Structure 1
Amino acid sequence: MAIFANRALTAAGWVENLRLETSGEQITRLTPGAEAQPGDTRVDTLLPALANLHSHAFQRAMAGMTEYRLAGRDSFWTWRDLMYRFTAQLTPEQVQAIAALVYLEMQEAGYAAVGEFHYLHHQPGGQPYDRLAELSDRIMAAAAETGIGLTHLPVLYSYAGVGEKPLEPGQARFGNDVDRFCTLVDQARGALTAMPSDCRVGIAPHSLRATSPTDLAQVVAAQGQGPIHIHIAEQPKEVAEVQAGIGARPVDWLLANAAVDGNWCLIHATHMTEGETRAMAASGAVAGLCPVTEANLGDGPFNGPTYLCAGGAFGVGSDSNILISLTEELRSLEYSQRLRDLSRNVLVLGEGSVGQTLYCGAASGGAQALSRNAGEIAEGKLADLVAIDSQNPALCALRADQLLDGLVFAAKDHVVTDLWSAGRHQVKDGRHVNRDRIIANYQSAIAGLLSGL
């Protein structure tokens, strides 16, 4: 396969008239200043495609259902109760149909890969399926249907709170002890034989609330040879509970008690002290930021300037999937900093393009978090690529070195024309190649789900 781009952002910078060749999943040759050849796929502007590092796919189907204010003060915790009631109804077929729609929307928005933080494991009521990894199989089937690059992250969820509190009824579909969880992960890894070779299985201890120090150590020792993702310090209530229960704030405790390194992704990390922020950056872990969901749930903004000054890696994810938009995640990240600091152009060190800092930083950090050999256009990297139309009215006034500022702050995702996930050309002319079938399956699944609510 070969792609000819009028311009492209490569690892060496912006180049004109790039001819990019691939073999299977990888970029094999880059020729700037080239001429298009017969049979080349021609695009306007080619960029490295981002990975969406944090998704709960099933929550897409409840988008818009929790925006009615209840008596008293609505919060993350009231939203969570509604989510539990929703999950009690989902069938395996519905889980697959919802995930396929989510992954289609991600690819049309410019994401080439997804980290699926998957904690819906069992039947309603908590009884395991005959095959423990049944719902993980459904996630993989959705990824295969859409062609998205998948890092599947089965979640260890054992307790309702710090101190090994028993699971609540609404959490019954999530629960496993360490031994059963390890069996589930082994089954999921076995299923990779039917998936493209860029797909991965990691693990996701849900949080310090839903695991225990002993269980966390055991599961990392047994299964931690790949990506390890964990929710950390999302809400002040969570920080207070962890500090009261195990004697330290979540980030401080994790960094002191686990060998946190570049294989780890700490999701949200919203409520950190300055010292925690610098220590997390120094660990090499990726901060998994989900600005749209964090705003929707009232989590609060991330401590971005301190983290970037300390050299921290970051990426973005769509989390609850209330809105799947790559451009909105990046600009919401910057705007959250501006609103807090009463300033502009916050998330860039010294002078430079904020859009390029955000985009390229998230490309690199997302690839690291999902253990993908991607994040930039270079020979030997996965062909995770996205093409945008620089002649779109939102972008046509800009120079090449301003295009990422325009993409992040002035454009919407419909400027995406083409998307490749590890060389699989899944979006053409702005539409996923399986769009009609996937949307029809989703609409049928939702009709069945709503009839049971």
Structure 2
Amino acid sequence: MHIPSDASLMWTRAGWRRDAAPAVEDGCVAAPPAAGGNGGWVLPGIPNLHSHAFQRAMAGLAERQTHPQDSFWTWREAMYRIAARFDPDSLYAVAAQLYVEMLEAGFTTVCEFHYLHHAPDGSAYADPAAMSQALVAAARDTGIRLTLLPVLYMTGGFDRRPLSARQRRFGHDLEGFLRLFGTLRAQEDATLRVGVAFHSLRAVPAEALSAALAALPADIPLHIHIAEQVGEVQDCLAVRNARPVEWLLANAPVDAGWTLVHATHLTADEVAGIARSGATVALCPTTEANLGDGLFPLRDYLAAGGRWGVGSDSHISVSPVEELRWLEYGQRLQARRRNMAAGGEGDSVGEALLRGTLASGAQATGQPVGELAPGMAADWIVLDTASPVFAGAREQDVVDRWLFSGNRPLVRDVYVAGEQVVSDGRHRDREAIAARYRVAVERLLAD
């Protein structure tokens, strides 16, 4: 049956619900959802599980060869150079632009993995939380839901070398880090949640990880970069006699509160171990492709019942469509087969991807997102029924068309906590935020 252009359908765990629209009370979905709607196909907003906001300013600027064996490690040098130029004002301007782009694309929550803490020389700002406060302000001003993850970053490698001069602005001792966390957590509200990120096993010694976990509240989201690069795996084996995920699962209480970012290079035992733990894996396919990281073993992980979501990470792309599309395409290229994320014959790849990335949203963000159900956040997107892409659409192909049919923006309206922040594809403050971003980036890139 074709969908009339003025129909309203709402996505639920069971699929489309006809003649329904979310009813809102205090920023959450009220029970039951209201009949009627605004003439569109309503989906829960997509959670973005991994973001380094400042890197939006360098997108497209690391694509010239600097070494015959260019890799993540040579890209990191370019990242360090631009990171050294940020202050709270420029971080606010760049993050606000990024968050507008996320909202217009359909991301309504972002997990900000934030390690740009101090002044470029490593000294603290007068307000030690100034850089974090810039991100909070950008999120509040744009209307995106934020899970802020201040990063503990202590050493320059598994061998415990001190932070380099370029890394000093990232660093904390444990006492200072816990003070920062306490300051930020006191500011939590309906759309701000504060968790913690451990940068990586190479940046957090084993005893510091244990001490931090003992000191932190038990109910916060915990994120960590892990097993992104082959070199990281080799270094971990050399120093700790175990692979990164293997070591973490054996030495930390990894459970549903954890999100493992990338986890690209895994053995079969590690795949099964993550799935058993209940943790989420945050996959960032466009960044992982851009950096030459490798491909996550998605089919094996899905077969093991593992949880996963997506993030835009370095923001060379800011689009849930592209992350989900390339998650599937990477698997197709590797296996030389089609429809890899589908669970069985007749299953929709797009719907499987959508269900997967929504199912981990609340767990990874610590916020009531990922489903339009009573008591959950009133965060949703409305697809553009007037787009030619949806001509003759049927319920069973709407999601597949959204994800696998060209590159026209197909998100019409976006709501966060029941408040409309995007109308007809445009954020309410798009022009002013873009103007401020242009000034900030020109200054950041000036010689």
What amino acid is the match of 2:349?
Answer: V
What amino acid is the match of 2:140?
Answer: A
The question of whether the paired residues in 2 share the 8 Å contact of 1:19 and 1:30 is answered with no
Q: For the structure 1 residues 213 and 31, does the alpha-carbon distance in structure 2 shift closer, same or farther, using more than 3 Å as the test? A: closer
Q: CA deviation at 1:19?
A: 3.4
SS in structure 1 at match of 2:8: strand
The question of whether the paired residues in 2 share the 8 Å contact of 1:66 and 1:79 is answered with yes
Q: CA deviation at 1:35?
A: 4.1
Tell me which of 9, 20, 27 is aligned to 1:25: 27
- Normalising by structure 1, we get a TM-score of 0.94
1:403 is aligned to 2:405: no
SS in structure 1 at match of 2:169: coil
1:325 is aligned to 2:325: no
1:270 is aligned to 2:264: yes
SS in structure 1 at match of 2:18: strand
The question of whether the paired residues in 2 share the 8 Å contact of 1:137 and 1:191 is answered with no
Unaligned runs of 5+ in 1: 37-41
Q: For the structure 1 residues 303 and 224, does the alpha-carbon distance in structure 2 shift closer, same or farther, using more than 3 Å as the test? A: farther
Give the corresponding residue for 1:179.
175
* Structural RMSD (CA): 1.4
CA distance in 2, matches of 1:14, 1:51: 19
Unaligned runs of 5+ in 2: 1-5
Tell me which of 406, 422, 432 is aligned to 1:437: 432
The question of whether the paired residues in 2 share the 8 Å contact of 1:334 and 1:346 is answered with yes
SS in structure 1 at match of 2:11: strand
SS in structure 2 at match of 1:408: helix
Tell me which of 341, 360, 385 is aligned to 2:355: 360
Q: CA deviation at 1:340?
A: 0.6
Tell me which of 146, 150, 154 is aligned to 2:150: 154
Q: For the structure 1 residues 249 and 388, does the alpha-carbon distance in structure 2 shift closer, same or farther, using more than 3 Å as the test? A: same
- Normalising by structure 2, we get a TM-score of 0.96
- Residue identity over aligned pairs, in percent, reads 46
Give the corresponding residue for 2:203.
210
Give the corresponding residue for 2:253.
259
SS in structure 2 at match of 1:443: helix
Give the corresponding residue for 1:39.
none
What amino acid is the match of 1:306?
Answer: D
Give the corresponding residue for 2:335.
341
The question of whether the paired residues in 1 share the 8 Å contact of 2:413 and 2:420 is answered with yes
The question of whether the paired residues in 2 share the 8 Å contact of 1:270 and 1:301 is answered with yes
SS in structure 2 at match of 1:172: helix
What amino acid is the match of 1:97?
Answer: A
Give the corresponding residue for 1:419.
414
SS in structure 2 at match of 1:333: helix
Give the corresponding residue for 2:85.
89
Q: CA deviation at 1:402?
A: 0.9
SS in structure 2 at match of 1:200: strand
Give the corresponding residue for 1:7.
9
Q: CA deviation at 1:397?
A: 3.3
Tell me which of 298, 305, 309 is aligned to 1:311: 305
Could you list the runs of 4 or more consecutive aligned residues of structure 1 that deviate by over 4 angstroms after TM superposition?
none
CA distance in 1, matches of 2:78, 2:214: 34
Structure 1 residues 78-227: aligned runs within 5 Å: 78-192=74-188, 196-225=189-218, 226-227=220-221
CA distance in 1, matches of 2:236, 2:392: 51
Q: CA deviation at 1:390?
A: 3.1
The question of whether the paired residues in 2 share the 8 Å contact of 1:325 and 1:413 is answered with no
Q: Deviations over 1:182-236 (max 9, x none)?
A: 11111111233xxx41310000010001111101111112125300000000000
Aligned length in residues: 440
The question of whether the paired residues in 1 share the 8 Å contact of 2:153 and 2:171 is answered with yes
